[in-house]
Amino acid sequence: MRFAAVALLASLAFAPRIAAAAEVTSFELDNGMQVVVVENRRAPVIVHMVWYKVGAADEPPGKSGIAHFLEHLMFKATDELESGELSDTVNRNGGSDNAFTAQDYTGYFQRIASDRLELVMSMEASRMDGLRLVPEDIGTERDVVIEERNQRVENDPGALFGEQMRAAQYLNHPYSIPVIGWKHEAHSLTLEDALAFYEAHYGPNNAVLVVAGDADPDEVRRLAEKYYGVIPPNPNVVERERVTEPPQLAERRLEYADPRIGNDYVIRSYLAPERDPGAQEEAAALTLLAEVLGGSSTTSVLAQKLQFESQQSIYTAAWYSGQSLDDTTFGIANVPVPGTSLEDAEAALDNAIAEFIEEGVDPEKLERIKTQIRASRIYALDNPRALANRYGSALTSGLTIADVEAWPDVLQAVTEDDIIAAAKKVFDRRKAVTGHIRKSATEEVTQ
Amino acid sequence: MIRLALAFVAVLGFSSPIHAAVDIQEVTTPGGITAWLVEEDAVPFTALELRFRGGGSLDRDGKRGAINLMTATIEEGAGDLNAQEFAIARDELAASFQFNVSRDALSVSARFLTENQDEALALLKLALTQPRFDEEAIERVRGQILSNIRSDLNDPNAIAGRIASELTYGDHPYGSSLDGTLESVGALSRDDVLNAYRDVIVKDRVYVGVAGDMSADELAVILDDLLGELPTGGAALPPQTEPRVTGGVTVEQMNIPQSVAMFGHVGIRRDDPDFFPAFVANEVFGGSGLQSRLSLEVREERGLTYGIGSYLVNWDHSHMLLGQFSTANDRVAEAIDVVRAEWARIAEEGVTEDELDTAKTYLTGAYPLRFDSNASIARILVGMQIDGLPIDYIETRNGKVEAVTLEDVKRVAKRLYQPEALRFVVVGQPEGLESVN
């Protein structure tokens, strides 16, 4: 299949001239590996990424953090490479590399001069089925991961509370567990745990290759067949069937105090549907709901009502990310001006949303947001890395290329009424977690 | 992530780069404004980067934070438009204008579509030349800045940075945060904000970089219209200053599980003949990869941290060699010993042939990769001009890296890395570590 990303722009009100835009090609290797090529010839640079359809939410019980720990260990030795040789070689060729782990996927990438594609592909293929871990790798790298957790979470009260909140949001689903792992479990992860996870989930039939930038699709196909195509499918890989949430019937409320908090705030998350293949309409309405409520610090509904009109708030926010394999969340938050209690701040937030549902969506505001979304497709053509991420994350979160292609039109089709209907449905307190985060547990009012 | 993307790249003073395909034109307008332009018509939009030299270091005595408050309020209403009307007009055009201020410059990063660029630039001109600074907007933005300051008072990274700046630069503007303090920001008046605007936004201190769908002829007309009405002059720039930090350890107690450590001493001037050997030496020592000496010894060998690096920092008025890591309270003393030992080793021994070759191939190979978007190219063009680099610098830069020899590195490392002058600022509850002056 081959199509041009510029086709996404065909419906633009301001259909602009686009000469050398990004072209997207996709195909599948015989062993089941998906390949996406995003062409952008502006600079002689490529981003080469392999995304695996496995993440933290696929970990066995008691082994939280193993997906991310394995990601670190993937930089150790393979059948062909010494420990650290992949990164070292990328560096020696003027490139950079890194990796990332999320609930639904794990990705590895290199950014390098486009004439080095074969080099990085040969090395990335080597660790797809040839990882050779030894006991000496474990202890030191586990210490590194624990320091990473200290840096990202333990030293940050907002991040610590975020973990508690997600744990309360999901009653049964593993999204309740942090990607980096609970500290007590991360301390006890072993070589056997890492290898078992690797052998269960890594292989070409569970992977998506994305090459973006100065890349020729035919050449990518030739190289992909040469390096990835020879790796047999991993028979252990099975379709992901995760546990699901029971009906959520009881609102959850959390209180958290930490002397490191600079400004008290109230935050709430609601369980919300995600983008599903072929059915992205509700997620599109929720995406625009988040934009209308909190997308601009000046003109969005929460900013207008709470920062400009009543001047009760310093910051307000609303957010939603529809890209998720399973149920996701819709979030809102309010940082009140000093002297306002969190109880009043929460009431003000609820009143603002109730008023919004009553008043409906301002059509001009919605049109402005849609204009910006259309323009963002043009600006994105200047950024092949972002396009690569868009395809890689979608294809490892249950979506298809057709869904990615359709998404801009699905967004443009959302009406004012769709947004209000989505709001009424998602803002269900029985499915919500509300947090009050304070500097001090005793003071009701902060200064 | 296997490693944290450290946000220090821009500090190399080297904010330049490129590839043979990047063709820079110098444009001088009839009104006398100079800009560097890279034309790229593949995508119908343009990135425009303005930088006004001086930035947050031009705060008047007792008015710390005024320029930051002004910068954060400049887009909150202009001409006939109040804050919301301005935002609506900008959003209808799908343009974006970001105003930021650093120690050395106030920057404006604008992005606009070709099809409505005249309207977008007219709006940007309104913000630059007729900002309203309404009392209501100032109060609202002041509240946000105060909340940021309160957050920083509890953030170990911000605390370490504040202490390190005070120790290093004292009363010089570099010695304090340009955000100001709760007290200083709380006391600022609208007149202070207006003075800050007049002190910073002046025509003769602006540098311009443009990349995207625009010709040199178009740009010349646009720039005179956009900037021609700005006044000249501005507040006096601060003096050059030497870091006055001395060797030792400063511990700030804070109840957190992981200590944050910053370290450094004086660096090397950007125009020093030995700058390139120093730059290559530091790539070996504390550069971006996991293969740097600091990363190998502190992270890979001992698992003491998630990330560690060192950076040559070249501000307009001073220069330093800085580094940073975080590690558990009971391991920070060990990590500091390792960093000190490495500091002494490179000063004593220089680097190996293999290390030098690896650093050179990385630096020369990575250079063209920087020029991959309109926004990054526009920023690079401005950075080159501010650093006083010639317009053909991109073509000569890799040659300067290639020319560095083992002897150069050895000579410069001995001069640059001074173990006895190295100061650590540690925030946390480090075990077995006390302040030493």
Could you report the predicted ipTM of this complex, rounded to two decimals?
Answer: 0.90
B363 and B263 share one domain: yes
Mean local confidence (pLDDT), A245-253:
97
Active-site residue, selected from the candidate residues A23, A28, A59, A71: A71
The answer, yes or no, to whether residue B6 has pLDDT greater than 50, is no
Residue B207 included in any domain: yes
Nearest to B256 among A88, A147, A155 (CB): A155
For residue B366, give the nearest of A96, A142, A379 by CB distance: A96
Is the pLDDT confidence value at B312 over 90? yes
Q: Which one, of B146, B88, B99, lies nearest residue B127 by Cα?
A: B99
A199 is catalytic: no
Query: Which of B159, B192, B227 finishes a domain?
Result: B227
B235 falls within a domain: no
Question: Within this chain, do residues B253 and B214 fall inside the same structural domain, yes or no?
Answer: no
Rounded to the nearest 10°, the torsion over CA A145, A151, A156, A158 is: -50
Of A44, A314, A376, the CB nearest to B19: A44
> Comparing A384 with B106, which gets the higher pLDDT?
B106
Q: Do A147 and B304 touch (CB under 8 A)?
A: yes
* Residue B156 belongs to domain spanning: 2-227
Q: Percent of chain B at pLDDT above 90?
A: 91
Same domain? For B44 and B103 the reply is: yes
Chain B residue numbers touching A151 (CB-CB < 8 A): 4, 258, 306-307, 326
Nearest in space to A151 (alpha carbons), one of B428, B21, B284: B428
B96–chain A nearest CA distance, Å:
10
Reported as type and span, the H/E element at residue B196 is helix B190-200
Q: Is A101 on the interface with B (CB under 8 A)?
A: yes
Do B21 and B84 lie in one domain? The reply is yes
Question: A-chain residues within 8 Å CB-CB of B1?
Answer: 71, 98-101, 148
pLDDT interval class at A445 (50, 70, 90)? very low
Q: In this structure, is residue B162 part of a structural domain?
A: yes
Instruction: Verify whether the Cβ–Cβ distance A378 to B45 is below 8 Å.
Output: yes
Shortest distance between the Cα of A175 and any Cα of chain B, in A, equals: 18
- For residues B90 and B97, is the Cβ–Cβ distance under 8 A? yes
B308 and B367 inside one domain: yes
* CB within 8 Å: A14 and B113: yes
How many distinct structural domains can be found in chain B?
2
Residue B243 lies in a domain: no
Question: What tokens appear for A349 in the block?
Answer: 């937030």
Query: Which class for A256: exposed (0-12), middle (13-18), buried (19 or more C-beta within 10 A)?
Result: middle
Q: Cα distance from A4 to chain B (closest Cα, Å)?
A: 14
Residue in B84, B150, B328 nearest the CB of A299: B84
Q: Which of B254, B369, B427 to mutate to test the interface with A (most CBs of A within 10 A)?
A: B369
The per-residue pLDDT of chain A, averaged, comes to 92
Mean pLDDT value across chain B: 93
Residues B57 and B192 in one domain: yes
Q: What is the mean pLDDT of residues B100-129?
A: 97
Q: Do B187 and B259 reside in the same domain of the chain?
A: no
Provide the chain B residues 397-436 that lie in CB contact (below 8 A) with chain A.
none
Judged by average pLDDT, the poorest of A234-238, A349-353, B360-364, B405-409 is B360-364
Closest residue by Cα to residue B30 from B168, B228, B193, B290 = B228
At A32-83, the pLDDT tens digits run 999 999 998 888 899 999 999 999 999 999 999 999 999 999 999 999 999 9
B144 contacts A315? CB cut-off 8 A? yes
Give me the phi and psi of A443, to 5 degrees please.
-80, 130
Q: Nearest-CA residue of chain B relative to A98? A: B2
Cβ neighbour number for residue A4 with a 10 Å cutoff: 15
Q: Cβ A43–B41 below 8 Å, yes or no?
A: no
Sequence-distant contacts of B346-350: CB under 8 A, at least 24 apart: B346/B281, B346/B284, B346/B285, B346/B293, B346/B413, B346/B417, B347/B413, B347/B414, B347/B416, B347/B417, B347/B418, B347/B419, B348/B414, B349/B410, B350/B281, B350/B406, B350/B409, B350/B410, B350/B413, B350/B414
What is the rounded distance in angstroms from the CA atom of residue A319 to the CA atom of residue A288? 10
The verdict on a CB contact (< 8 Å) between A147 and B303 is yes
What does the H/E/C string look like for chain A?
CEEEHHHHHCCCCCCCCCCCCCEEEEEECCCCCEEEEEECCCCCEEEEEEEECCCHHHCCCCCCCHHHHHHHHCCCCECCCCCCHHHHHHHHCCCEEEEEECCCCEEEEEEEEHHHHHHHHHHHHHHHHCECCCHHHHHHHHHHHHHHHHHHHHCCHHHHHHHHHHHHHCCCCHHHCCCCCCHHHHCCCCHHHHHHHHHHHCCHHHEEEEEEECCCHHHHHHHHHHHCCCCCCCCCCCCCCCCCCCCCCCCEEEEEECCCCCCCEEEEEEEECCCECCECHHHHHHHHHHHHHHCCCCCCHHHHHHHHHCCCEEEEEEEECCCCCCCEEEEEEEEECCCCCHHHHHHHHHHHHHHHHHHCCCHHHHHHHHHHHHHHHHHHCCCHHHHHHHHHHHHCCCCCHHHHHHHHHHHHCCCHHHHHHHHHHHCCHHHEEEEEEECCCCCCCCC
Neighbours of A182 (CB within 10 A): 15
CA distance A310 to chain B (A): 11
- When pLDDT is averaged across residues A323-338 and rounded to a whole number, the result is 97
User: Do B223 and B363 fall into the same domain?
Assistant: no
Residues in A closer than 8 angstroms to B2, CB to CB, are 71-72, 75, 98-99
- Tell me the C-alpha distance between A44 and A113, whole Å: 6
- What is the largest distance, in Å, between two alpha-carbon atoms of chain B? 65
Beta carbons within 10 angstroms of residue A183's beta carbon? 17
- Condensed to tens digits (0 to 9), the pLDDT of residues A79-99 reads 999 999 999 999 989 999 999
B274 shares a domain with B217: no
Q: Provide, as residue numbers in chain A, all residues whose Cβ is less than 8 Å from the Cβ of B328.
A: 146-147, 150
Distance from CA of B95 to the nearest CA of A (A): 8
Position A2 pLDDT exceeds 50: no
Q: Is there a domain that residue B78 lies in?
A: yes
Q: Are residues B215 and B253 in the same domain?
A: no
Quick count: other Cβ atoms within 10 Å of Cβ B198?
13
The minimum CA-CA distance between A61 and chain B, rounded to whole Å, is: 22
At residue B324, φ and ψ (nearest 5 deg) are -160, 145
Contacts of A88 in chain B (CB under 8 A): 289, 291, 358
Q: How confident is the model at residue B15 (pLDDT cuts 50, 70, 90)?
A: very low
Here the CATH number for the domain that contains residue B110 is 3.30.830.10
**Whole-number pLDDT of residue B2:** 67
Q: Is B234 within the bounds of a domain?
A: no
Picking from B197, B227, B257, the residue at the C-terminal end of a domain is: B227
Whether B302 maps to a domain, the answer reads yes
Same-domain check for residues B112 and B253:
no
Percentage of residues of chain A with pLDDT beyond 90: 87
pLDDT-based confidence at residue B368 (cuts at 50, 70, 90): confident
B336 neighbors B261 (Cβ within 8 angstroms): yes
Q: Tokens in use for B109?
A: 């990063």
B36 lies in the same domain as B99: yes
What pLDDT score does A383 carry?
A: 83
CA-based angle A307:A308:A310, to the nearest 5?
75
Q: Is A1 in the B-facing interface, judged by CB distances under 8 Å?
A: no
CA-based nearest distance A428→chain B, Å: 30
Flag if B371 and A43 touch (Cβ within 8 Å): yes
Judge whether B233 lies within some domain. no
What distance in Å separates the CA atoms of residue A94 and residue A75, rounded to the nearest whole number?
Answer: 18
pLDDT at res. A381 = 84
A88 touches chain B (CB under 8 A): yes
Across the interface, which of A94, A368, A382 has its CB nearest the CB of B91? A368
pLDDT in tens, A166-200: 999 999 999 999 999 999 999 999 999 999 999 99
Provide the pLDDT confidence category of residue A423 given band limits of 50, 70 and 90.
very high
Q: B 15-54 residues with CB below 8 A of A?
A: 19, 21, 40-45
pLDDT value at residue A256? 97
Among chain B residues, CA nearest to A149: B306
